[in-house]
Amino acid sequence: MILLGRIVTVGPGAPDAEAVAFAEGRIVAVGDADECMRAVPGAQVRDLGDAVVLPGLCDAHGHLLGLGQVLSEIDLRGAASFDEVVDRVAKAGPVDGWLAGFGWDQTRWSPAEFPRHDRLSALLPDRPVALSRIDGHALLTNAAGLRAAGIDRHTADPEGGRVIRDGAGEPTGVLVDAAMDLLRRAIPLPTDGERERLVLDALRACAEVGLTAIHDAGMDAATLAAVERMDAEGRLPLRVYAMVHGQEEGALERWLARGPHRGDMLTVRAVKLYLDGALGSRGARFCDPYDDDPGNRGLDLLPAARLRELLPRIERAGFQVAMHAIGDAANAQALDALEACGIGRGSRPRIEHAQVMRLSDVPRLARIGAIASMQPTHCTSDMAWLPARIGPARLPGVSAWRTLAGAGVPLAFGSDFPIEPPDPRKGLYAAITRQDEAGRPPGGFFPGERLDPSAALMAFTGGGAFAAFEEDLAGRIAPGMRADFTVLGLDPRTAPPAAILEAPVLATIAAGRFVVDRIGRGRGAVGR
C-alpha cells in the first residue's frame, strides 16, 4: 500500500516526504509519489490530502489490564468531593459481589484529606467495595470490605504499606501501597477469558487515540500468559512491550529462568521493580519529610540490599531493568544501585517516572546512561497541589524534561494509564506547554522545562523505540522499518498547542494493518 500525504519521517536530518510505501508489515520506500509507486508497482493507494502521517505513537508506560478494568468500573475521576464519590457509587446499580471503582482524588476536595469509610458502609452495609485512588497507590474500602479481608485495629502495617487509622486506632478504610494487598487477597481474580477481554478493550481504546505500541509497566504472570496466548493466536492489534512484575511472588523467578520472549506483536524483555509509592497518597519516598506531613518521608517498597541483589540477576538473564521511582530518595536509590552493580548505558536501564529528582542527580543519570521514562500529564495533573506537598526547594526537580534532555538523558514518554488517559495528544500538549487544558498557569509550570514540539514528538516515537531496543525497527519512517503509523489531521510540530488536543485521529496502522480507519476513500483506494 502507498499513503500519499504529509509524511513526517522523524529521522535525524531527514526531510518530510509526500508518500510512503509498505508491504508485508514493513516500509519499502519513502519519498515522492512516483518513487514509491515504482518501488511497489500496482500497490493500493490512499490519498490522505493534508493529513499528517507520523511514525506510530508509543506509550512507554501504561497498564493494559488496569485500563480494561477501569473501562468497566465506576468512574470516580473528577469527583469534586467525597459526597460526589458516594453519589456515584449509589448509582452503580444492583450488581452482586464486590463493587469496584477508580479515580477518586482527595487533592480535589476541601479539605484535601483522605476519606473515611462510614458513609460507604452506611450505603452498602453488606456489599464490599474497593475504590482505587487515581494514582493506583491507595484503595478505599467499606466495613464489609474490611471484614472480608480480616482488617481491624490489630492488623499491622505491612512492609512498604500503611493502613490509615483514626485517632482511636481504627482503620478508616484507606489502604496505601503494600497494604492494598491485604484487601486484594479477598477479591476474586478475573478468569483467563476476562483478562483477555479486558486487555483487548484496553488495546482498542489505545488504538482509538492513535497509539500503535504500548509498554506495559509491570504485567502480572496471569495476564502475561493471556497476552502471550493472544499473540500466538494473532489477536493482538497493537504492539506490546511487556515488563514482568518483579515483585509478584514466583513470577520473577520463572521468567529469569525462562529468559526474554519475542513473538509477533509481543515482546517480554524487561522487569519492573517498585522502589516507592506515589505523590498523591504520600507514598513517594523523599530525602526530607513532606512539607504537609512532617515526619513522613514516604514508603520504601524495595530495600536497597534486595535491589542490589536483584539487579545483577536480572541483567544476567538478559532482561532490562525498569525501576518505579517518583520521590528524590527513590531516584537516588535507583542510581546508587545501578552504579554499585555496574549496570549502565549498554543495558539501557529505565527509571519509570523520575518525577521529582535532586538536580544534583541529573549528571549521574546521564553518566549511567539510564532512560527517563516519564509522563507529561502527571506534571500538569499534580502541579496545583505539589508546592504545598513538597515545598519550593524541591520544585525545580519536578518533571525536569528539558534539564534531563540537555544533560543527554534519553526521554521516553507515556501516560501511566489508567491513572491518566492514554491519549498521546494530551501528553504532547502537556510536554510543550506545562499547562492544564484551560491554559493555566500562564506561561506554564516552571516553563524553562517545556520541550519544543519536535522534541516532545520524538519522546513519543523514537524515545519509546529506543527504550525498547527497537530503534532499528520503530520510531521513524524509513525503508526497512515497521509499517506502524499514526495519521492525524494536523502536524503537532507546527500547530498551536491547544489545537493538538482536538487533532482528529484519522488512522492507526500497526504492522501495515488499519486498526482504526477514519480516512475518506482516495483515488484508487481500498481499505481493509
**In terms of Cα–Cα distance, which of 306, 287, 232, 310 is closest to 264?**
232
Domain-located, residue 67: no
Distance CA 370, CA 344 (A): 7
Q: What is the mean pLDDT of residues 416-440?
A: 97
How many Å is the Cα radius of gyration of the chain?
A: 23
- The angle formed by the CA atoms of residues 47, 49 and 50, to the nearest 5 degrees, is 145
Distance CA 129, CA 139 (A): 10
Domain-located, residue 65: no
**Are residues 356 and 498 located together in one domain of the fold?**
no
Instruction: Give percent of the chain with pLDDT exceeding 90.
Output: 94
Distance CA 47, CA 39 (A): 17
**Are residues 18 and 84 located together in one domain of the fold?**
no
pLDDT classification of 14: cutoffs 50, 70, 90? confident
pLDDT at position 97 is 85
**In terms of Cα–Cα distance, which of 368, 470, 481, 384 is closest to 434?**
384
**Are residues 413 and 265 located together in one domain of the fold?**
yes
- Is a pLDDT exceeding 80 seen at residue 523? no
Three-class secondary structure assignment of 385-425:
CHHHHHCHHHHHHECCHHHHHHCCCCEEECCCECCCCCCHH
Verify cis geometry, omega within 30 degrees of 0, for the bond prior to 441: yes
pLDDT classification of 249: cutoffs 50, 70, 90? confident
* CATH classification of the domain holding 24: 2.30.40.10
Measured in degrees and rounded to the nearest 5, phi and psi for residue 132 equal: -85, 135
**Are residues 432 and 454 located together in one domain of the fold?**
yes
Domain-located, residue 45: yes
Q: What is the mean pLDDT of residues 85-108?
A: 88
Distance CA 318, CA 322 (A): 13
pLDDT at position 450 is 98
pLDDT digit string, tens, across residues 119-142: 999 999 999 999 999 988 999 999
- Is a pLDDT exceeding 50 seen at residue 332? yes
pLDDT at position 398 is 98
pLDDT classification of 48: cutoffs 50, 70, 90? very high
**Are residues 284 and 144 located together in one domain of the fold?**
no
Transcribe 118-138 into DSSP letters. HHHHHH-SSS-EEEEETTSSE
**Are residues 391 and 435 located together in one domain of the fold?**
yes
Residue of higher predicted confidence among 93 and 208: 208
pLDDT at position 94 is 65
The alpha carbon of residue 487 and the mean position of all alpha carbons in its chain are separated, in whole angstroms, by 22
Q: What is the mean pLDDT of residues 234-255?
A: 96
**Are residues 258 and 158 located together in one domain of the fold?**
no
User: Picking from 52-61, 87-96, 438-447, which range would have the lowest pLDDT averaged per residue?
Assistant: 87-96
pLDDT at position 114 is 94
**Are residues 257 and 389 located together in one domain of the fold?**
yes
3-state secondary structure of 500: helix
- Is a pLDDT exceeding 60 seen at residue 526? no
* CATH classification of the domain holding 83: 3.10.310.70
pLDDT classification of 95: cutoffs 50, 70, 90? low
Other residues' Cβ atoms within 10 Å of the Cβ of residue 416 = 25
Give the total number of structural domains in the chain. 3
pLDDT digit string, tens, across residues 187-213: 998 999 999 999 999 999 999 999 999
**Are residues 338 and 238 located together in one domain of the fold?**
yes
| pTM exceeding 0.85 | yes
Domain that holds residue 503: 2-56+481-517
**Are residues 367 and 435 located together in one domain of the fold?**
yes
User: Picking from 176-185, 397-406, 452-461, which range would have the lowest pLDDT averaged per residue?
Assistant: 176-185
**Are residues 396 and 441 located together in one domain of the fold?**
yes
pLDDT digit string, tens, across residues 230-243: 999 999 999 999 99
pLDDT at position 31 is 95
* CATH classification of the domain holding 332: 3.20.20.140
Q: What is the mean pLDDT of residues 396-411?
A: 98
E-assigned strand segments in 8-107: 17-23, 26-31, 45-55, 57-62, 74-75, 99-104
Mean of pLDDT over the chain: 95
pLDDT at position 522 is 37
